[in-house]
Structure 1
Amino acid sequence: MPEIKPLKPGDPRSVDRYRITGRIGEGGQGTVFLGIDEHDERVAIKIMTSVDASDVESRLRFQREIEVASKVASFCTVRVLGHGMTDDRLYMVSEYIPGESLQQHVRTRGPLEPSALTRLAVNTSTALVSIHNAGIVHRDFKPSNVLLGPDGPYVIDFGVARSFGDQTVTVTGVLGTPAYMSPEQLAGERVTPASDLFSWGLTMTFAALGRPLFSGSTIAAMAITLRQDEIDLSGITEPLRSIIASCLVRRPESRPTAHEVLNSLIVPSARPDSGDQPRTGERGPRVPLAPSEPGDRSQPGSRSQQGDRSQPGDPSQPGHPSQPNPAQQSHPSQPWRPGGDVAPGQPWPGQASQPWPGQHEASQPWPGRHEPSDQQWSGERDASNPLVAPFAPPDAPRGGVPRPRGAMHPGGPDPISQPTGAAPPTLFSRRRAGRLAVAAALLAALTGAGVVLVPRLIAGPSTPPSVSPSPTGFGSPVGWQPTGHFAAVTGVATAEVGGRLMMVTASEDGTLRRWDARTAQPIGAPMPGHGDWVRAVATATVNGKPVAVTGSDDKTVRMWDLTTGRPLGNPLTGHTGAVLTVATTTVNGKPVAVTGSDDKTVRMWDLTTGRPLGNPLTGHTGAVLAVATTTLDGRPVAVSAGKDRVLRFWDLQTGRQTGTPRAGHTDWVRALAVTPDAVVSASDDKTIRIWDLASDRVSTIRGLPDVVISLATISRGGSWTVLGAGRDGVIRGWDTAGEPVGTPLTGHAGYVTAVTAAAAGGTPLAFSGGADKSVRTWDLSRWSASAMAAGNPGHSAGVKAVALTSVGGRPVAVSGGMDKTVRMWDPLTGRPVGSPLLGHTDQIMAMAAATVAGEPVAVSGDAGGVLRRWRLDTGAALGKPLLGHRGSVNAITIINGVIVSGGADGRLHRWNAATGASAGPSMPGHRKPIRALASTVVNGKPVAISASEDHELRLWDVTTGKQIGAPLTGHDGVVLAVATAVLDGRPVAVSAGADRTLRRWDLITGTAIGGPLTGHTDWVRALATVGDRVVSAGDDRSLRVWDLRTGKELGKPIGGHAGPVYALAAGRAGGTTIAVSASTDWTVRAWDLRDQ
């Protein structure tokens, strides 16, 4: 048991609602205190001393890390209960587990006995399976981060350590403890789940031997140690010795997954085939550290022995399998080489005597050309992800989770049928494309990929796109893709490929991806090749073929065939620092790339030969963060800017600086864009400047809410529009006079790191990528007049629940997401309110809000069957979780101080809203899951109305728990939504569902009112009433408003979401009538209903 030490003078005595009673420990990150809540429950409170709480980026990154950590199953790690800031210090509150670390235990009691060691291995590998399934790489798995609790081991301290480091970090960017780091981590490369398996093997070795396998205490010492040819595992008995040996191979792609390690532990015949094993007491094997060849079957767990992994279906939709990502079906079966698929000396496109790489191969098909399987599972489909169809491969078991086809031993048992946290094809380890596509579908970020600041230029053609005049209005989302990249998107460009517009994105995950520009659907496999973050991408035409040009932190420039997705030629070398920005143009009829670097230089490259043009262009006194190309007096020029705050112009025909440098910004210049007459720049000084090329005149856009880090321009109807994407997650538009244009475009969670614009079929489109790893497309020719406020309050996944209430006299929308967080935001401004409310360990499916005992309270329910109550004015959790459901909580309503919930078990459950105590036994009746609830007063009694997959609605007396009357029938499918209203003094209900209709009901007589209301073209998932109107929404992504009395639709359908709408709320706010909608496109939007 850990010793609780007394508090020191100056230590805090309380944090939030917790009393601090002692010190648990202190480390490089901060101090851990023992706290007591109002129910005398103990918690651990870590106050971060190593984090600058005054820095916005640090606070956002800290918040993101906490949220990612909260996604891991609570059985294997301590639950995160909350976080915030106290006395200018960030803090985190977590579950308190009495126990000592594995490090402390072994040092005081010696090595573990074989049976205890096996139990530890099983439990910790199970934890890694869960962590990797959540899309997380621990990065610092070591004995001190394994907590031996009274009911088993817990893995702790992941996420935060990656972002902020600790006292064991000796090299910038290399995080972890040297004695337990993998070779790729020591080398400063990007790490994958395979790195955790190397660290796991070293941790198990420590537990078995009582000492670290490697003695190096610094990164340099460890790097020297790992150069030895073999390591000694003598003293460890079988079967664990062979399992550890398979994890300690140098090549990460040759290590087993956590899933395979666990299989081999619980089914001995599934372990690696290591040949004749020594008897107990004999000297154990020495494990070679030299890399093995790809596909070498002598290495346990090699890629040749492992099959693809498939993604799970939506846990909220049991029995509905998922369709694998189309990109997953067209990958080569061999692992990627670190340098890509191009052999040294492959020809450049200008060398006509030799063909282009892949020239005679079929290109990747566009989405939609594959016929879907004709095998369809019964039951409800999953509309959470537009890429997921209601089909499954023929060999998938019911539930849509195909059995993994690979194991550590071919043909061995596979008792665990669940997906693995497959690694992306990152820099040191090039995993198979199929594994990348599967892991992408998990919708989870690698640790630390959440909120980052990326210097970025939007590089496009030398002349920005121009389109025909368009109607008044600006900015409606038309495409959205939440997954694909494993880290922040850093660059976006477009090109015409095969007669269609393609979007190309670059990412911190070291890859490029191609997308259909209209729909944001992926095209082909990810494109690896760079050895570090890809910072920028631009497109060009070389010998009639569309190519992409990229710059990377690996100091190289690369070219890519956009038809085949393959790299072209060898990397272009010359820069001595990271290549941060790329633009393309033509000079004397030849395609040329212009790049800017951290080495303070600008370089030109001939794209037909792959050779540099002239010497580096020097003059900047700091890193070059942005370049753009244009013409000046009829001559091609490049414009560059960066940390020295000055814009410089370069004659691309002579390679000399031309004109007068433009100064005026007072901080770094992050982005550049051009029009035929001007250059536009954006700076950390929170201004955008528009520089007239024909004069010294400059227009300045001031008062920006945050830094703009990416720019684009597009011509609309003869006038130019400037687009700026910023740290506040918003894309805004201005004309060249600096006046705002249209409505801000919102939807990204976190920074919008890249934006560009192009025309498709005469329609102006914008394309964006963000720190949330998503890409989005926007139609700049239209915007719904009903849009009032739109945004993402911070969710990093789809949103399926929303409620509208009042807190302190102002309207507040409360949303619950698939990211397991509850968030509040102002529906009039779209701005977040307070901090996220953490505690759920599964996606949130239902939300209700009401005033309880004079206080604003929200109740949320998740797919794991847990309800939680929240004080909205303080953000505090109220009491303990409410348990009792068997399966998902799908619906919640609150009436007369009673919470009524329904879900997958087909029963209604009642709770006292003030105390959380049970308000009576559960109420059975429905034969299938309950999908929606509403409540009202009927004949003086509080009544709940439930809607179910059994096609029925039922009325219930909330006080007695008895059913009222007969079920209401009439729908021809699953009933997904219900709401109530009072018309002329009579209570009525309205319902909707899979039959795409709305139906009205008189709750006194239990009879239908009129006929069905038709108009929706897909399932209707959500309803909300306000006065005599009802708002409906669903899978067709539109909102419709109806007159409850007449049943007539009011106005036109309201469009704006890029994904199915799962939840609605409506009410009065700011003197107007509003609706609030939540969608799987990650956004929550508000709509003004005055004109409907």
Structure 2
Amino acid sequence: MVTPPGHERAESGPGGLIPGGSIPPGNLPSRARPLAADDPGQVGPYRLEGLLGRGGMGSVYLGRAGAGPLVAIKVVRADHAANPDFLRMFEQEVRLAQRVARFCTAEVLGSGTDRGRPYLITEFIDGPSLLDQVRRGGPLAPGGLERLALAVAHALRAIHRAGTTHRDLTPANVLLSGEGPVVIDFGLALEVDSASHRPREKAGTPAFMAPEQAGGERVGPSADIFAWGGVIVFAATGRPPFGEDRWDDRIHPNGHPQPDLRGVPAPLRSIVADALRLDPRRRPTAVQLSARLEDALQGGRARQDPTTGPPSGSLAGQPVAGLVTMPSPPPTSISSVSSTPPGTWSVAPTRPGPTSDPSPGARSDPSARGGAPTGPGPAGGSRSGRRRRLLPLAVAAGAALAVALTLLVILPGRGGGGEADTRAAAERASRQLAAAALEARDQQPALARQLALAAYRAAPTREAHLSLLAAYLSPGSPTATFTGHEAAIADVAFSPDGKLLATTGTDLTARLWDTTRRGGDVVALATLRGHSDWLGDVAFSPDGTLLATVSADGTTRLWDTTRRGLGVRSVATLVGHVDGVWDLAFSPDGKLLATGGIDGTVRLWDPARRGDDVTPIATFSGHQKVVGEVAFSPDGKLLATGSADGTARLWDLARLVDTDTPRATLLGHRGGVNELAFSPDGKLLATASQDATARLWETSGQGDVEAVTTFTGHEGWAGDVAFSPDGRLLATTSGDGTARLWDTARRGPDVTPLASLTGHTDQVNDVAFSPDGLLLATSGGDGTAYLWDTAGRGGNVVPLATLTGHEGRIDDVLFSRDSTLLATTGADQTARLWDISPARVADHACADPANRLPTTEWSRRVSDVPYPEPCP
């Protein structure tokens, strides 16, 4: 049972309290209705004061504990409470929801169980919903519409960053409080079908559902982006973008319904149109959406589209409840993240502290705040009373208020140079401070931390990102340590969405881990049992619904990852190899699975087949020894295989008749092939061999093919190869304790490396580029993993950061697809997770006031950019 937050504090409710602490029925907040006869009077320690609403998951009540503040209490329906799957997902979603940043959302305060029914406590927000406001007063004025668009986008960004999805974002779930728009009911709209015990992804509001959600498919954050577009269309026009019908009723004869965007002003219209794309892969992420909005709307109200005029019923120039209408301010210089690669570097959302005078008059008068928010930052902010959420920040010169939500760092412009000049100056300052941080990290680590944080807050440049990791990734401090395997971990894989990590071990098990969990000794979500000998490689299918494992027992198994509540079960056992299976890979479209075995054969399987004795659809039997590596080309037309017989082979997947004859045999290695990889464009194949060389091959060749480039110089076996995301670099590892970077455009028999990465004192086992191309990770037999700047050149490049903590060798390093997490596995039977998101690293740094660069130090180093508070 939770301890009610704030119950020790006396706080009068609206209209005062009647004896016993209850609110008189006539004085309930506007959204609350009196309790019905069958409503409970008490839930856990909370006395219920009124009903806020009912929905598919349960009822929401207004309540308080003792003399504490009013809270909203969602009580789950009895039939859901009896479903174990629902309870499991409810608990998981509560944990995720509690991680959501507390701006633009109703804070999740806790949860509990009362008479067998779980309940959730959230902050109570007093104010009408967007649905009620528009129905009563008509569409929002342009200024209010823009503030709504930004606030809800920022809320989605925080929700998605916490690892959850709203799933039911509608005008009814956006409240217009006196302090700005607030999103409620996030992360808890998932229902379970009582018959199948499967999630009912179709749950939601039809008029605002993404098509994939309406079709019953699994949904992710992109469905929330679609719903955001629908909410903004409704706020601008008073109608949903596709009408009120369900999706199956609104499909046009051509199968491609188009949203009605008449009345949505520019520049919002083009952004909304992208959010409402029917293909979820073409919608922006929440980070990209926020950046586009900030870039389009900075400097004041959006331009009115002359072709449409104001929408019918517009409240232009009039206040809207919960949204402050203000005149257009003069241009304000803002350092934006919109010029950085989407999803790569992002400024963490922050909230201004309280002003010295919290009265309404002080908030409306710029002179009352001196043109900027004041008061304590996150470490010292007051928690008494309602937090101020994304309030418009005052600009100096006393002219008007700018719409500058706190995701941006305010950098007042200098003279008439304009925003571009201001941004350029901020980026120069960022790079200068980042360089100073790297120089100071060994001799003055405290100063290095201050400089790195200030550099990132000035502008999220590449250099600032690197300096943050160098300053704050302390050895031995992973974000999470996954324990449970009883023997060494053999392999590791991230799910496509990065929310799951899979590991296999020589203890005959595979395990699934929740990457949103933090702390030491995190236990597995699921343990997969069924193989009778040690497990080797592991891979997720491209859609993340299947996990494949191979074993020395000669079988490959497929596991359904969507049913973790009842335990992940094997849905297929693939048999055919006459000895252990060593490696596997899914084709890019997920329609084929390839395995390589100790028996020297390669086999192709149909992952859609189910059963205990699934046979292969093709067998390639040209290799003479163990096939330790298999890989599909990016277009899925070729399969590459590497063997201990010293050859690599290319197989044409359009010809599965003559399976003993490869399209090409790659000759030249004088030792077994340890690893292979296709270049991103599929035109090259790289191999690493026991003969201490790595080689490049053109995949267009046929017959016996010679390498176009041979990379020599390692003094021990070459163990691993990896291409950079742009294909211009190749990284190799070796038993000589080094990793090397090579230019893939160079040709010839003896190419010298661009860089030698030194630091490991034992063999280098694994290498990986981050998907954004910024970092390279290596692991070693010396028990360390290193992060390297991929731009480093020359001999003996030193690492950017050192990751320690494993006892014994580290085998694998692997980045998540969004480049924000790094996984390592070791001989100590643990997997470890390292958070390398610059935004989260910066947020964590701000928790310690000692990391804030003094203004005097800023002024000494930067002369042309005003000091931005590093932890606003």
Whether TM-score is above 0.5 comes out as no
TM-score, normalised by the number of residues in structure 1: 0.35
More strand by proportion, 1 or 2?
A: 1
TM-score, normalised by the number of residues in structure 2: 0.43
More helix by proportion, 1 or 2?
A: 2
